[in-house]
Structure 1
Amino acid sequence: MKRIIALSCLAAVMLAGCGKTEKDGTDSKSETTTKATEAVTTEAPEEETTEALTTAAETSAEAATAPETTKEPDGMVSAGGRMDMYPAIYQGVIKSKFDETVNRNEGNASIEYAFRDLDADGIPELLLKYGTCEADYQIHIYTLDDEAGAKDLGLYGGGHTSFAYDENTGDFVIVWGHMGAASIIYYKWENGTLKSNGSYDFNLDEEITSYDQVLEEKGIRYIDHVYVSSFGMGDDAMTKTYVYHANGESEEYDGLNLDYMG
């Protein structure tokens, strides 16, 4: 009799197991996975399990905080990498041109630089003017190439100039003025470089009494810029850096200060 009762109970358990469907939210695959997990947890020593979990957590944390790769598959630097790198690259260009000018002119040198995103890629171009005085200044404009090197776009002007932009279009402008004559020279970014886009010339007279009068009428605004001057060699050398803001404010520093990045 006891044997019959036992067989009846076993049959009832088996029938109950066969009655499960996918509607219960449990399938054979998940059940197998659960059992396998339980088996691993049960059989693995507590010390090894803790170490494995700690290693996995550390790996996940490192992956979350790792910086983005700066190289694209084809060797090009990513936009994020270029954004991080451009200050150091431009600082190197500025210092190189400054030192070159100082050494060539027995300690006398002047540079002026500013920044403007001319190609609208989120990374500014470097506007650099250097020489010893207004008579020999050269304006060169630099952009970053695909491998995050500085590319010289060429010569864009000389002395008696200021960096500005047209607030109506956002386009870059160089303002030239000397002895009562003046020009507003407009530029456009086209096909990977900066090209002249016309100019407006005028002269001071009884009606036009200042350059700023015309610039105001045309919507031309100056760009913040840095001016560095150096005189003398050795112990007599004196270098000063001035940061000029469009609102009229300015700062002065001893030596060549390259902290300002626009």
Structure 2
Amino acid sequence: MYDPERYEKFKSAAARDAAEFAPKLVSEMEWNSKEVILDYGCGAGSTGFNFILPTVEKHDSKLFSVDISEKMIEFAEKEYAHPRITYAVGDILGDFPYKSMQFDKILSIYVLHFVKDYREAVKKFYNALKPGSQLGFTVVGQSRIFQALVDIGSRETWKDIMKGYEKYVPEWVEKKQDVQKCFKDALTSAGFEIQKIELHNQKWKYSTLDSFVEFYMSLNPFVRNLSPNQLKQMKDDYIDMVKNQWNALGDDGQPAEGKYELLYVLAKKPLQ
């Protein structure tokens, strides 16, 4: 998520999934008082604020919300400020602001499909947790959101501007792997005990072609570097992709129902 205003306005399916699965993760975790919680990949801040914060408050705990995007954090600090939330820019695989801390819980909603080396991220989460603590996350499996990056990034107009787009396409998509098996292996290898792992086949129909395209563009990390004219041109190319390359319009001229996989995971770091 690299354009907070566009993402918050058009996230639709992601918003529905967050509203369903973030509370599910929170409710199925084991809570105690005065805990330290990490919301990794907090994005624009709404998911943590709406679905994690109430339980954090209830248990007199603290929430550390981290995202790799400076724009997202700036937006979150403005729109979702709270005394119990500390926002920071950071990358669990690089410059992470809380390397010296260990957390009681880590939640990561709709994030790990954007992390190319997801196995290393899982290991980092393991090291960042206290013994006996839990990791909960959702991740998108097979989905057209990744195919869109490939199809737009490989076009002559954008191949230089979007150079390196491949690193934003998950390995399980590139290699057509079973996302559930990929994360079972990664979690077990890192040392986690898997408490729940569920693959949900999700559906969503956008009300308009414009909202469909705007959401896909909000997930394109290269839009932040485009001029207004380039943004318009890219939007036209997304529309062309949906209409002609994907042939994904229904009889009403709007996007047909989309299907995608959503993986739900709850895991525990064993007591040592």
Normalising by structure 1, we get a TM-score of: 0.22
Q: Which has the higher contact order (CA 8 A, sep 6+)?
A: 2
TM-score calculated relative to the size of structure 2: 0.22
